[in-house]
Structure 1
Amino acid sequence: MKNASLFAFLLILSSFTTWAQDKAQTSKIKITGKVIEKTSKQPLEYATVTLTNTQNPKGIAGGITDNKGQFDVDVAPGTYNIKIEFISFKATEINNKSITQDTNLGTVALAEDATQLEDVVIRAEATTVQIKLDKKVYSVGQDLMVKGGTVSDVLDNIPSVTVDADGTVALRGNENVRILIDGRPSNAINISEALRLIPADAIEKVEVVTNPSARYDSEGGGGLLNIILKKGKNQGVNGTVIASAGNPENYGLSGNINYKTEQFNLFTTTGYNYRVNPGNSLTETQYLNPSDPNRTYIDERRNNERMSKGINSNFGLDWYLTPSITWSNSINLRKSTGQNPDFVSFDYYDQNRVHQFTDFRLNDQQDRDNNVEYATNFVKNFKKDGHKLTIDASFSKNKDNDFSVINGIEEVTFNKQTQGRNIVQLDYVLPIGEKSQFEAGYKGDFNKLVTDFEVDTLNVATGNYEVHYGFTNELEYKEQINAFYTQFGSKIKNFSWLLGLRYEDSNIDINQWSTGDYNNKKYGNFFPSAFLTYELSEQSSTSLSYSRRISRPRGRMINPFSNYSSNINIFRGNPDLDPSLTDALDLGYLKRWGNKLTLSTSAYVNITDDATQFIRRDSGLRSNGIPVIESTPVNIATETRFGFEFTLNYSPFKWWRLNGNFNFFSNQTDGEYTFIQPATDLAPSSVEVIDLDNKATSWFTRVTSKVTLPYKIDWQTNFTYNGAQKTAQGESKGIASANLGFSKDLFKEKATLALNVQDLFNSRKRINETFLEDVSNSYSEMQWRERTITLSFTYRFNKKKNEKERPQRRSEDDGGEFPG
């Protein structure tokens, strides 16, 4: 068994040319079937199927199963020995099988062989990115760039995905992205911060879905990202332990361990990390009508040193009640503490740019976050392959408390947030015949978030703190969403189609207790979807898809007050924001040239009604005579986004792999925003109109190269460029950045030593220019994290480096594939 897989693989490669010539001279016969794991009945992806012609030793054909465990091999008529195998499983052989017509071998169940765990074959490393027509699947374990990093680092290395300087995730340039963890919405209050706390080592893969079907939540106008956490699956006790350290000061220790028998699978992924992330920003502002001519220019510079330490742990049990029933339970815990001393300096200049004086502001922020989630999953597989019922439920509680002291004791802020989220989901899948499939399901998502933000100012005369009501608010957000969906798909020869319809009933309360402002938004929406694919050949396919999406404003977007680190440049949420509805159309093409080159390209159009746009305006407030500039989100009439992208995987040699992604898009907004400008000492109140009509184009590209150097040292480099983009009130500048990584296997590939550098040239910044008519012109830079160097050591026990494991329990993506 030790050399069987490698021998078969080499024979397939060396005999490909001869086999192709023989095949051209004879009629094709199709051999199909499905491979599953005997215990759990789950399909086995990447299982190897080898057919050897008994009369012609050179007549060898083979294939690998897809994510449904299915295989499809074309052979010439003859008598064959058929071998089906998978790492650490007992191989199945069918000898002297006469093949004279299209043949379905049925379902082949492979049993695990624990005695072979120490003697498994090391397969060739799979490509880091698997490209499919409807999604891209990114395998985290293969990427050197994220060793010792966080989920944010993982996402920022994925084709089509970008993460900006403040942690905002965008897909194809669109920030309206739905982020799922194991198929469920994240229960974090601040998703950007949560992604920075979860270690990259806890992630198995990320699925990028640009145009989801009706089976998914309709949330996310730009698509969704499904982050799948690691979960051990091999027989016996096995796992991985990873330790890391780096500069700026960061340490981490995590482990992925499981114990599996035929009756159950016990697993855990636990990690501790301590990180210091220095950051900086500057805002240079020219005030066009200042009350004091000695304060015409103000340069605001900020230096902060975010410190965070946290524990993330997931404990779970898969219980195989019967051969057809699996019940899974897990508890996820996340606990973190942090500190963010934020030092701000203000340099004041007169109208001739002559320096007048400097002022300082120190914001010392401390936070504490506690999160617990219980999740349960019940799967019933019926007799017919693919016929199953799945029930999911999760219940979570999240508390996040922030406390800040400003300028010693002059001001203090409190930000207390509590969120409870309960989700119940039921999915039913019924195959009809061999080429059709029906699905239906229900999902209830019930969420409550309470945010209590308060600013207290010291009264020097009395020595007591007084509430600053201009920046204090208590907000309650309650969301109840009930959803029903159904979809049906079929395949006729080379043509596949999938039609779906989802209905979501939304009942949302936004209550501001401090001001007595209560608002209920209740609405129901239908979300149709359609997917068409056509296989042009065995190596190329094309697809056309449509879906309707929604983006509901939440959290920081609707909270009027949640931050007070600067008193002249503030962000204010808008509780009156309405949801945005998007119609998304995507035309895709996929082409493979053998095992060396894969091209995926698509053209897309997204049309959004009531789209959200960020504006900057004079708030009407003054701080020492200086206008307080306010950033806030507002609804505009229409946003039209169209573009095209391509992803290219190329392996010119066994020792060199290239991956490139390019995305170009054009964004047009049509609308205006009208508001009442409060009165000041210089002018009465007035009605102001901001014209938000804007046409802009932008692009980004990412190129990744992985080279195997002498002594089996892996070297990986990637380069990213985000192009400039006009906005309605200014422009965001283009940014280039690069990452670098090296790794070396040790101790007969039981261990790996890796070194990576994030932001090699320390150039990752968000740079904007903003022009507010008759108010101010400003230039700003923001760098959330400076260059980071990390060294990590990975040790595997009873587990090989590139060992393929069976798919884990169902995520929200399962069942939505094209039939056939």
Structure 2
Amino acid sequence: MKNRLPKIVLLILVLLGNYSLMGQQKNAHIVLGEIKDGSTQTTIPYATISVVNAATKQILSGTISNDAGTFSIKTTATDFYVEISFMGFKTKTIKDIDVKQSRINLGTVILEEDSEQLAAVEVRAEVSKTQFKLDRKVFNVGKDIASTGVSALEVLNNVPSVNVNIEGEVSLRGSGGVQILIDGKPSVLADDSSNALGTITADMIESIEVITNPSAKYDAEGTAGLLNIILKKEEKRGLNGSISLNTGTPDNHSVGVSLNRRTEKFNLFTQLGGGYRSMPRDNENSNLNKENDSKVESYGTNYRNESFFNFILGTDYHIDDYNVLTLSGNVAYEWEDQPSRTNYRSFDNDVLNSEWYRVENTQALNPKWQYEFNYKKEFKNNKEHTLLFSALGRFFGKDTDSDFNNATTFGTNDQDQLQETNTDFQQSDYTFKLDYTNPITDEYTIEAGSQYVINDVGNDYEVRDYNGTEFVADPELTNNFEYNQKVLAVYGTGAFEGNNWGLKLGLRVENTDLKTLLTNNNQENNQTYTDFFPSLHTSYKVTDDFSVQAGYSKRIYRPRLWDLNPFFSIRDNFNIRAGNPNLLPEYTNSFEVTGIYKIGKATMNSSVYHRYTTDVMERIAIFDDNVTTTTPFNIGTKNTTGVEVNGKYSPIKWLTFNGDFNWNYFSREGEYNAQNFDFDGDSWSSRVTSKIGFPEDIDLEITGNYRSSYKTVQGETSGFAFADIGLRKKILKGKAVINLAVRDLFASRISETIIDNDTTYQYSFGQRGRFFTLGFSYGFGKGEAMTYSGKRR
């Protein structure tokens, strides 16, 4: 009996406990509702909901709203009220609660903005700062920007040396062609063919790295520089998205939808768009034979009308805190129509002897696709200790049919003819990369990796002439050009970075295997070469606001497909462009010393540079029987020494200036076909952009550009000035944006070259003209409205 007593007591206690719990569950309440912003009527995720004891004022339980702004919370209290709070909004207290109901639905709870709290937050906010590292600048995004909810493009616009114009085009130190990475790897989110960066908000970004002189880790065929966006590693960021509608003249119409949803494990992104655009270009040419005083003039307008469709889908999968997989794809399709007319006049001794015109009607279908796979591993000892593998595939096709019709309008000549052309073009590119980074200590870091790139192209081209009864292929202008290039690269770098001084050495080795073939006549050009590309970077931080960087790198510029493709363009029979299958790459040794400093509200970069280039690729115009044929050749060497200055200055909060100035002196040495091409000269360019913020969220941007004239191997290219202007109005607290922009405001941006020698005079002129664009975009979730970009995709 004594042994059973403790068991009986325990059983009674358990039964009493269960009864008590059942009683508590029976009296439990479920409180639920939805939270919205009072001004925009958008839902508020991650707001704090607290159940508070009405007598003691103590918090009994709490939760946060989900991505959709809804919440549900349980409580067994009988005398309580609910408090709902979110940063930047006034706290909402709900006391009129019917505790007799087990399910209490508060419905839609409206939070109103607290202007005083926002001001206090702004005063206490952590300010964004720029750190000067060994071979890069790091812009750390502080709460002053992170709390604003703007897009990644707006964050980039706050980074020294970076400018984003009102149409969303990114430039670095005044130059385009910037490669943008996300977490050190390529991403369709950062592809310049989309506005998907608008779905990445400031509070997702930890820092942005600016690399103006890439080390041996990066392709030896570099761009203007690199921007690497480092994202924060937070569990949830919700749904971001934007819808845009755009129109313009000449025709430039599009509609697009972008979405980005972040969860604990996944980051899903997609974009869908389509539209129509027209790209007219006015051309004028004159070819004068001084020996017999004969001349042919031409002028006309070429059109490129294009309907397009684009779809992007991708995801980042965070396996755990240290491993991430990324898979993305992009499919696009374009339908081209190119109606063009060129008018000709022929003179002998300044006397008009004939006039005729050439009409072109071209139709083309352009399928495109791209896929990308990335795997990134971070090691537990250091988040900078990483392994990254990526595979990228691209395809571009072009099936083109053209009809040409010549007709005489004055005089007699033998120019009347009918021609047809057909092009079946296919290009596939594959890139495989492996990168390993290991910070051995706080001061020493090593990097190693490899890359393999395959470029495979086929261009089947046929020209058919009408002989009176049928079209017959012209064997001189018909062929199939095959182009295959493989580049295998390996690299290694080692770096020391102390508190004030650092040094980084690197070596990249690339083996290139290039094969071209004209299948109809079995004309081959095979090139295999191995190149070494060393790099050296050093920096010294004088103060927190002044740093000096110096760098050396060797670069390569390989001939592009159209540099090598020997097919003639017969759009204009008197001004022909053709490639050179025997063209070699050009090499550049680049030296640069840069001072980076901050003076008050201004940041400045001043650089002195020297570049020595061998096997320079130049386009040479050959004149024969009033026909100018322009073909690239390797001609000698080029020395270039220059000064570059760029800066950003905000004297007051609503006014910002961006400026770039580049001057260089060059000397050329070389000859072709016993003709000496030694000469020297200089050139300079400048750009100033002013951004003015007006009340009512109105921004005005004015950009002025000037490019000087400069000498070429055969003549001179004229200078020109042009201006762009843009106006932006934000509504609904930045959730919606209206853009109005005018590119080339005064229609002064031209391309004009002159070649004048003892036997010939050649003049060429081209102009795109003035473009007007109007865009509207609405952002939802935590995203900001996308900034419209009117450039070609």
TM-score, with length taken from structure 2:
0.76
The CA distance in 1 between the partners of 2:229 and 2:146, in whole Å, is 23
Output aligned runs, 1:48-447, within 5 Å.
48=126, 126=155, 128=157, 130-131=159-160, 136-138=161-163, 140=164, 143-144=165-166, 146=167, 154=169, 159-161=173-175, 198=193, 210-220=212-222, 223-224=224-225, 235-290=237-292, 296-351=294-349, 353-385=350-382, 386-407=384-405, 410-447=418-455
The amino acid across from 2:765 in the alignment is E
- Out of 554, 558, 562, the position equivalent to 1:552 is 558
| Counterpart contact for 1:231–1:269, Cα < 8 Å | no
1:494 alignment counterpart? 500
Quick check: 464-473 or 740-749, which moved more? 464-473
Structure 1 residues 122 and 611: alpha-carbon distance in aligned structure 2, compared to 1, 3 A threshold: closer
| Counterpart contact for 1:231–1:256, Cα < 8 Å | no
The amino acid across from 1:532 in the alignment is T
Structure 1 residues 581 and 392: alpha-carbon distance in aligned structure 2, compared to 1, 3 A threshold: same
The CA distance in 1 between the partners of 2:138 and 2:455, in whole Å, is 42
| Counterpart contact for 1:413–1:455, Cα < 8 Å | yes
Quick check: 311-320 or 535-544, which moved more? 311-320
| Counterpart contact for 1:179–1:186, Cα < 8 Å | no
Q: C-alpha offsets along residues 367-393 of structure 1, whole Å, 9 cap, x if unaligned?
A: 221111110000111112211111100
Q: How far off its partner does 1:314 sit?
A: 1.7
- Out of 773, 782, 793, the position equivalent to 2:776 is 793
The CA distance in 1 between the partners of 2:154 and 2:574, in whole Å, is 53
| Counterpart contact for 2:337–2:361, Cα < 8 Å | yes
Output aligned runs, 1:492-641, within 5 Å.
492-594=498-600, 596-618=601-623, 620=624, 626-641=625-640
Structure 1 residues 472 and 224: alpha-carbon distance in aligned structure 2, compared to 1, 3 A threshold: farther
2:120 alignment counterpart? 7
Structure 1 residues 343 and 122: alpha-carbon distance in aligned structure 2, compared to 1, 3 A threshold: closer
Structure 1 residues 753 and 543: alpha-carbon distance in aligned structure 2, compared to 1, 3 A threshold: same
The amino acid across from 1:639 in the alignment is K
The CA distance in 1 between the partners of 2:172 and 2:150, in whole Å, is 29
Q: How far off its partner does 1:419 sit?
A: 1.2
Backbone CA RMSD of aligned residues: 3.5
Quick check: 236-245 or 718-727, which moved more? 236-245
**Secondary structure of the residue that 1:590 maps to in structure 2?**
strand
The CA distance in 2 between the partners of 1:523 and 1:590, in whole Å, is 38
Q: Does 1:649 align with 2:648?
A: yes
Output aligned runs, 1:678-689, within 5 Å.
689=674
Output aligned runs, 1:708-747, within 5 Å.
708-747=693-732
Q: How far off its partner does 1:7 sit?
A: 2.5
The CA distance in 2 between the partners of 1:72 and 1:630, in whole Å, is 49
The CA distance in 2 between the partners of 1:369 and 1:556, in whole Å, is 17
Percent identity of equivalent pairs: 29
Q: How far off its partner does 1:66 sit?
A: 9.4
Structure 1 residues 773 and 456: alpha-carbon distance in aligned structure 2, compared to 1, 3 A threshold: farther
The CA distance in 1 between the partners of 2:713 and 2:514, in whole Å, is 30
The CA distance in 1 between the partners of 2:342 and 2:564, in whole Å, is 26
Structure 1 residues 87 and 767: alpha-carbon distance in aligned structure 2, compared to 1, 3 A threshold: closer
The CA distance in 1 between the partners of 2:425 and 2:612, in whole Å, is 34
2:72 alignment counterpart? none
Structure 1 residues 121 and 634: alpha-carbon distance in aligned structure 2, compared to 1, 3 A threshold: closer
2:80 alignment counterpart? none
| Counterpart contact for 1:125–1:802, Cα < 8 Å | no
| Counterpart contact for 1:698–1:723, Cα < 8 Å | yes
| Counterpart contact for 1:478–1:509, Cα < 8 Å | yes
| Counterpart contact for 2:214–2:226, Cα < 8 Å | no
Q: How far off its partner does 1:580 sit?
A: 1.0
Q: How far off its partner does 1:159 sit?
A: 4.0
The amino acid across from 1:603 in the alignment is V
**Secondary structure of the residue that 2:279 maps to in structure 1?**
strand
Q: C-alpha offsets along residues 448-502 of structure 1, whole Å, 9 cap, x if unaligned?
A: 1111121110111xx1211222322321111111110010111123001111111
Q: Count residues with an aligned counterpart.
A: 651
| Counterpart contact for 1:137–1:207, Cα < 8 Å | no
Structure 1 residues 203 and 236: alpha-carbon distance in aligned structure 2, compared to 1, 3 A threshold: closer
Tell me, which stretches of 5 or more residues in structure 2 are unaligned? Answer: 1-86, 89-115, 201-207, 407-416, 787-793
2:413 alignment counterpart? none
Q: C-alpha offsets along residues 44-99 of structure 1, whole Å, 9 cap, x if unaligned?
A: xxxx37xxxxxxxxxxxx968999999999xxxxxxxxxx969889xxxxxxxxxx
Q: How far off its partner does 1:346 sit?
A: 0.6
The amino acid across from 1:338 in the alignment is E
Q: How far off its partner does 1:512 sit?
A: 1.4
The CA distance in 2 between the partners of 1:209 and 1:64, in whole Å, is 13
Tell me, which stretches of 5 or more residues in structure 1 are unaligned? Answer: 13-47, 50-61, 74-83, 90-118, 148-153, 163-168, 170-177, 188-193, 621-625, 675-688, 804-820
**Secondary structure of the residue that 2:303 maps to in structure 1?**
strand
Structure 1 residues 569 and 342: alpha-carbon distance in aligned structure 2, compared to 1, 3 A threshold: same
Structure of higher CA gyration radius: 2
Q: How far off its partner does 1:539 sit?
A: 0.2
| Counterpart contact for 1:231–1:258, Cα < 8 Å | no
1:671 alignment counterpart? 670
- Out of 462, 470, 482, the position equivalent to 1:454 is 462
Structure 1 residues 559 and 724: alpha-carbon distance in aligned structure 2, compared to 1, 3 A threshold: same
The CA distance in 2 between the partners of 1:225 and 1:121, in whole Å, is 22
1:36 alignment counterpart? none
| Counterpart contact for 2:517–2:525, Cα < 8 Å | yes
| Counterpart contact for 2:484–2:514, Cα < 8 Å | yes
1:813 alignment counterpart? none
| Counterpart contact for 1:471–1:561, Cα < 8 Å | yes
| Counterpart contact for 2:722–2:749, Cα < 8 Å | yes
The amino acid across from 1:480 in the alignment is K
| Counterpart contact for 2:315–2:327, Cα < 8 Å | yes
**Secondary structure of the residue that 1:471 maps to in structure 2?**
coil
The CA distance in 2 between the partners of 1:343 and 1:279, in whole Å, is 11
The CA distance in 1 between the partners of 2:650 and 2:558, in whole Å, is 42
The amino acid across from 1:526 in the alignment is F
The CA distance in 1 between the partners of 2:568 and 2:212, in whole Å, is 31
Q: Does 1:750 align with 2:735?
A: yes
Q: C-alpha offsets along residues 225-260 of structure 1, whole Å, 9 cap, x if unaligned?
A: 679999999722221111111111221112220122
Q: How far off its partner does 1:641 sit?
A: 1.5
The CA distance in 2 between the partners of 1:275 and 1:285, in whole Å, is 33
Q: How far off its partner does 1:185 sit?
A: 9.4
The CA distance in 2 between the partners of 1:702 and 1:204, in whole Å, is 29
The CA distance in 2 between the partners of 1:335 and 1:207, in whole Å, is 34
Q: C-alpha offsets along residues 701-758 of structure 1, whole Å, 9 cap, x if unaligned?
A: 0100011123331110001111000112110000111001011111232111110001
The CA distance in 1 between the partners of 2:700 and 2:196, in whole Å, is 19
**Secondary structure of the residue that 2:476 maps to in structure 1?**
helix
The CA distance in 1 between the partners of 2:156 and 2:659, in whole Å, is 13
